[in-house]
Amino acid sequence: MIVRIEKLVYNGYGLGRGEDGLVVFVPYTAPGDLVRVRITERKRDFAFAVVEELLQESPHRVSPQCPHFGQCGSCQWLHVEYKVQLQAKEEILKRELKSLAHAVEPIEYGPSLGYRRRALLFVENKLIGFRGFRTNRLVPVGNCPLLTDDMNRALLVLYRFQTMLKRAREVWMGEDKDASCLLIDVSATAKVKDIHEIFHQLKETLETDVGLRIRYAGKRSRLGKDILKEKLCGVEVCYTFGSFFQTNRFMVESLVRKVLELVPEGGRVLELFAGCGTFTLPLSKRAKSVIAVEANKGACDLLRESAERQGIKNLNVVNADADRFTAEFSDAVDVILLDPPRTGCTPELVKAISKVNPEYVIYVSCNPTTLARDLRRFSNYSLVSVKPLDMFPNTFHLESVAFLKRTG
């Protein structure tokens, strides 16, 4: 079948139409490509396909700077001009929001390579890599253009230790935004004897602070650092091995600043899904009071320690489930800030937030589809603005900050 690709869509595919009008989703294509495809899966109204031959190349194609592109699932759009990716992301957000699309502001972005400072890699047969696009197959990676330089250098060091790789299953890496410290967490199936030598070579190669942790059978060995520290809008935020934190080192501060700008000075804030305090800690300087709710106990402990060390007294960290906590919450707050996982929030949580009745809701989302679904459920709020930020260049992922105001 011959297909002309019309646009890029959420989930990373190019969307085209066959001669019979059938909608076909084809990975690794660009708007304007004319491709001969092979259907891999046929649904009632559409199909998935793969390219058999590129008949006419889109003018928006660029040469992907990665030998693994096309197999590796960690980026989908490395072959598309960055400005076209940005346009596609704005359009995707508008399409998802439908009648709310008028609220979408221009997308904010930064450098498109070397930005990714947190990653989980997998190890099989002594090879380290990412999973393929929509498969479980390991794609071994020697160097990834999205990762920071230190992470790429660390990968090369790890490859020198074949005995360790034989036992390793996963490698988590995380770096502070200023690239001054890299933490590496290896999970293994048996004891790794050369931890000192691995650490020594990492230190020598990276010239930054390093923390190396190796875990197996419930035991942990660690050498070097165990905390990443960074200043966000003038306030120190800390993370540790395996913590969730914003992936894009160049854009994290813009994201935090965007959220802060929306919070009225001296306001009372309830924050749900707070993590280690990326928003919470800078927010505590602006707000009268912050209640931060987070399900992960380790993240809550880190957040409390960061607050104590900086003498922050107007913050109450609650280790709880966001739904349950909000359903029983009866204090008055001016703002509810939420940053849920990709699945978005439950209808019950939207109801509970509406019942708390804050003047403003700030919804940070990494999934435009669940964001659009959830925004439609806030019936007594109007959408003032949605700011897209490209936290994940060269991939289809998109972060947005939605700002809602109570109507009643």
CB of 278 to ligand SAM, least distance (A): 4
Residue nearest to ligand SAM (CB): 275
Walk across the sheet containing 181-188 and list its strands: 138-140, 127-131, 118-124, 168-175, 181-188, 209-216, 219-224
CB of 124 to ligand SAM, least distance (A): 27
Please, which residue, 8 or 401, has the CB nearer to ligand SAM?
401
The three-state DSSP-derived secondary structure of 90-104 is HHHHHHHHHHHHHHE
Please, which residue, 7 or 324, has the CB nearer to ligand SAM?
324
CB of 224 to ligand SAM, least distance (A): 23
Please, which residue, 69 or 245, has the CB nearer to ligand SAM?
245
Between CA 12 and CA 397 the distance in angstroms is: 8
Amino acid at the residue 33: D
Between CA 40 and CA 37 the distance in angstroms is: 9
- Give the residue among 273, 280, 270, 268 at the shortest CA–CA distance from 235: 280
CB of 337 to ligand SAM, least distance (A): 8
- Alpha helix ranges (H) inside 226-273: 252-262
Q: Decide if 366 is catalytic.
A: yes
List residues near ligand SAM by CB under 6 A: 244-246, 273-275, 278-279, 293-296, 299, 321-322, 339, 341
CB of 268 to ligand SAM, least distance (A): 18
Please, which residue, 70 or 242, has the CB nearer to ligand SAM?
242
Please, which residue, 197 or 348, has the CB nearer to ligand SAM?
348
Please, which residue, 126 or 231, has the CB nearer to ligand SAM?
231
The DSSP annotation for 122-187 comes to EEETTEEEEEBTTS--EEE-S--TTB-HHHHHHHHHHHT-HHHHHHEEEEEEEE-TTSSEEEEEEE
For residue 29, give every residue at least 6 positions away whose Cβ sits within 8 Å of its Cβ, in sequence order, or none.
5, 13, 14, 16, 35, 51, 58
In this structure, the number of other CB atoms found within 10 A of the CB of residue 380 comes to 10
Q: Which of 144, 181, 300, 366 is catalytic?
A: 366
Between CA 363 and CA 337 the distance in angstroms is: 6
The three-state DSSP-derived secondary structure of 58-79 is CCCECCCCCCCCCCECCCCCCC
CB of 71 to ligand SAM, least distance (A): 28
Catalytic residues: 366
